[in-house]
Amino acid sequence: MASVLLAVFVNGKICKDPNMVSADDFFFPGLNKPGNTSNAQGSKVTPVNVNQLPGLNTLGISLVRIDYAPYGLNPPHTHPRATEVLVVVEGTLFVGFVTSNPADPNVKNKLFTKTLYPGDVFVFPEGLIHFQFNVGKTDAFVFAGLSSQNPGVITIANAVFGSDPPINLDVLTKAFQVDANVIKYLQAPFM
């Protein structure tokens, strides 16, 4: 009788045949090297999740290195499947997150912010919009752990103003309660 190998699909990834696993499945080189921050945001996220490191499959953890040029920004974004714990290695960052849609309609969303220095740690709760901004005149970098092997990321401006096709202008003008020309201006860099 012929043997049949069945693939095991766990957490969105197919588990590798145990006979084919090697040490390289648990190894990621290079987090000691700064990322290229020569871009409009002045930041670079280097992820180490299940897509880069297959050995993370089913473990529920991942990490990133984030590099910032002076005044570089990791723009407002959210991780739909993970809480993030960030530790500053070099530089000074202004960080924050905002609560979302409180149960009481009389309560506004609340912004929590802090200025962080080397060795400081800050937590961004799962699913909440958050950001980091290098307020220093020198480069900065951090490491962050995430509570998912595949945390996902949704960058707010990219999603709202850079979709293809664009979100209907009437929808955005009503949602943001601004003139259509403001929306067009915000969409322009993404077109």
Would you say 126 is a known binding-site residue? no
Question: How many helices (H) and strands (E) in the chain?
Answer: 3, 12
Tokens, residue 19: 């006979």
In Å, how far are 1, 55, 121 from 24, measured between CA atoms? 34, 8, 30
Would you say 150 is a known binding-site residue? no
Would you say 109 is a known binding-site residue? no
Any idea what DSSP says for residue 40? S
Rounded Cα–Cα distance for residues 140 and 118 (Å): 9
Would you say 90 is a known binding-site residue? no
Contact 150, 49 (CB under 8 A): yes
Would you say 106 is a known binding-site residue? no
Rounded Cα–Cα distance for residues 119 and 142 (Å): 9
Rounded Cα–Cα distance for residues 119 and 88 (Å): 5
Q: Which residues make up each annotated binding site? A: 74, 77, 79, 84, 130
Annotated binding residues for Mn(2+): 77, 79, 84, 130
- Binding site for oxalate, by residue number, is 74, 79, 84
